[in-house]
Structure 1
Amino acid sequence: MKRSDFLKNSSLLVGASLMTNSLTASEKTSATLESAAGQPFKLDYAPHQGMFSSSAGKNFLDEIKYMHDLGFRSIEDNGMPGRSVDEQKKIGDLLAQLGMRMGVFVVPKGGNGANSLAAGKQDFVDIFLKGCRDSVEIAKRCHAKWVTVVPGDYARNLPIGIQTANVIEGLRRGAEIFEPHGITMVLEPLSDTPDLFLRFSDQTYEICKAVNSPSCKILFDAYHQQKNEGNLIHNMNLCWSEIAYIQVGDNPGRKEPTTGEVNYKNVFKWLHSKGYKGVVGMEHGMSKSGKEGENALVQAYREVDSF
């Protein structure tokens, strides 16, 4: 056989072999994901209302049941404080019946641009503390153990050290309200605007250490921290003792995992290796609409959960 013919035939054989291996791997992945359908995930991912409304309808209780059928074991509902007392109770009762957990909701007026804790103003602190007291009652009804707090914007007329001390003092008083009830307020550093006081994981870690309460910990939202600082696994590891809650969303776009640049399979594998048993909030939009988007959402989480 001529050398040129040998090389040509060898290339064809190698190409066919690679294609066969690729198809086999793809088929194995599909089979694995299909067999996992409806089974609980390795980590406790928590959808929001509306993520499955095309399949389950607009009634949140029906949607929660559908989420459970898909394998999810927690939910999040930032707007829980805006629901009626009766609806809060019904949601809590259904979660208990299904063996599901309630993730975070946002403390009403728990610190924002209009009443930043960094300013140290008594009126702002009073608004925050009222939100904490109200949150205790809401949490009792829906069986929540975590509530989100964002301290608000910078008070740029004050030195940064004074602002930080003001935030710590306000949070200490909030923690005193939550501690007797076993509720943890989780502080969320955000990337939405540079006006926000709380933006970085190490900054939040420092504040939690200073508050020194089991009721004041970090909500590490990987979407925001990918934008603000990157190096997700390293920074989570540095702050691990103070992290009580995780949220995710891919970047850019803030859609489901696999749509952006974050290798969530590795992130989730690391969380699992750390023994993380908390909630992973699905704090993002969806890349597609309707039932197609809902199927893509579940497929994405099955994929990144298959570590």
Structure 2
Amino acid sequence: MKRSDFIKSTGVLAGSAMLSSHTLSTTRMQGTTFNLDYAPHQGMFKASAGSNMLDEIKYMHDLGFRSIEDNGMPDRSVDEQKKIGELLTKLGMRMGVFVVPKGGNGANTLAANKQEHLDIFLKGCRASIEIAKRVNAQWVTVVPGNYERKLPLGVQTANVIEGLKRGAELFEPHGITMVLEPLSDTPDLFLRYTDQAYEICKAVNSPSCKILYDAYHQQKNEGNLINFMQQCWSEIAYIQVGDNPGRKEPTTGEINYKNVFKWLYNKGYKGIVGMEHGMSKSGKEGEEALVNAYREVDGFLK
């Protein structure tokens, strides 16, 4: 999954429905939290907060956000990871997902039952445990990789399950959950559907192996969002969003996020809702449009 494509393209965002015509550089909405725990990522507030991650986190907090995501956390220095973790603790914010290094993406697939692929995956799991300690993370994203088309689907599924069991054994003692993300990026990916992820998590049978439900990907793959979440709810530990088409903020596409968020809220969901998407506009105008959109759909929950 090319997560960096939209992360790099987001250079800006965060306003508020309560800011009227004031720009975010001169007026901030202080301390008003949301009903659900939305998590932005670096770059969404660059126009107002600058490009320094620590400054952006402080800015996110000022706007009412109480969590962040950072898929590329493993690429940051140990010193920067520690500083991010310390700041999040000071502000009372949570760390959302980051991606397990080489966690089964692309041709490095757990479906093939190849020792070299498993070794890469487990090495990434071990590294992620140390990273998670520095930033106080509870969730890490795992993608099993591509289909191994020379093998029957059932055999591939069993291979993925056995590989994930090995990963879960590493994460369990540390209270870390790897969340499996079904994706829509390419039909070559092994894991694409919610019920498929549900079957795998049930078979792994570990609190450290659950589902990351990304509504953007599942709108593309299967639709019927609320129904599939309801059926697979026991194995869903993390939510991400983005509207479709375009993978921008809620209200810019076809997904009825007022209803989706209302369902999550009424379900009593206390986890993170990752804002894994780009923005429909650039600059401070785009930042304001972003937060206005979240204020709009979140305000519907009251």
Q: Distance in 2 between matches of 1:265 and 1:40?
A: 17
Task: Report the TM-score, using the length of structure 1 for normalisation.
Answer: 0.89
Q: Distance in 1 between matches of 2:192 and 2:36?
A: 26
Q: Contact (CA 8 Å) 2:29, 2:62: kept in 1 or not?
A: no
Aligned to 1:78: 71
Q: Contact (CA 8 Å) 2:101, 2:124: kept in 1 or not?
A: yes
Aligned to 1:34: 18
Aligned to 1:271: 264
Deviation of 1:115 after TM superposition, in Å, equals 1.0
Asked if 1:249 is matched to 2:242, the reply is yes
| Counterpart secondary structure, 2:210 | strand
Please give the per-residue CA displacement for 1:14-54, whole angstroms capped at 9, x wherever unaligned: xxxxxxxxxxxxxxxxxx94299440000000000000010
Larger Rg: 1
| Counterpart secondary structure, 1:245 | strand
Asked if 1:109 is matched to 2:102, the reply is yes
Q: How does 1:226-305 map to 2 (within 5 A)?
A: 226-305=219-298
Q: What amino acid maps onto 2:279 in structure 1?
A: M
Asked if 1:138 is matched to 2:131, the reply is yes
Quick one: which of 163, 169, 176 aligns to 1:176?
169
Structure 1: runs of 5 or more not aligned? 1-31
Q: Distance in 2 between matches of 1:153 and 1:292?
A: 39
Aligned to 1:21: none
**Equivalenced residues, count:** 276
Quick one: which of 166, 182, 190 aligns to 1:197?
190
Asked if 1:186 is matched to 2:179, the reply is yes
Task: Report the TM-score, using the length of structure 2 for normalisation.
Answer: 0.90
Q: What amino acid maps onto 1:77 in structure 2?
A: D
Identical pairs, percent: 82
Q: Distance in 2 between matches of 1:33 and 1:260?
A: 19
Structure 2: runs of 5 or more not aligned? 1-15, 20-27
Quick one: which of 104, 129, 144 aligns to 2:122?
129
Quick one: which of 68, 89, 92 aligns to 1:99?
92
| Counterpart secondary structure, 1:34 | coil
Q: Contact (CA 8 Å) 2:100, 2:140: kept in 1 or not?
A: yes
Deviation of 1:112 after TM superposition, in Å, equals 1.5
Moved over 4 A (4+): none
Deviation of 1:232 after TM superposition, in Å, equals 0.4
Aligned to 1:90: 83
Asked if 1:43 is matched to 2:36, the reply is yes
Determine which structure has greater relative contact order: mean sequence separation of CA pairs < 8 Å that are 6+ residues apart, divided by chain length: 2
Asked if 1:209 is matched to 2:193, the reply is no
Asked if 1:222 is matched to 2:215, the reply is yes
Q: Distance in 1 between matches of 2:29 and 2:231?
A: 35
Aligned to 1:3: none
Q: Distance in 1 between matches of 2:107 and 2:136?
A: 29
Q: How does 1:152-167 map to 2 (within 5 A)?
A: 152-167=145-160
Quick one: which of 53, 57, 61 aligns to 1:64?
57
Aligned to 1:55: 48
- Structure with greater proportional helix content: 1
Deviation of 1:227 after TM superposition, in Å, equals 0.2
Please give the per-residue CA displacement for 1:245-304, whole angstroms capped at 9, x wherever unaligned: 000000000000000000101100100000000000000000000100001001000001
Deviation of 1:81 after TM superposition, in Å, equals 0.1
Deviation of 1:114 after TM superposition, in Å, equals 2.4
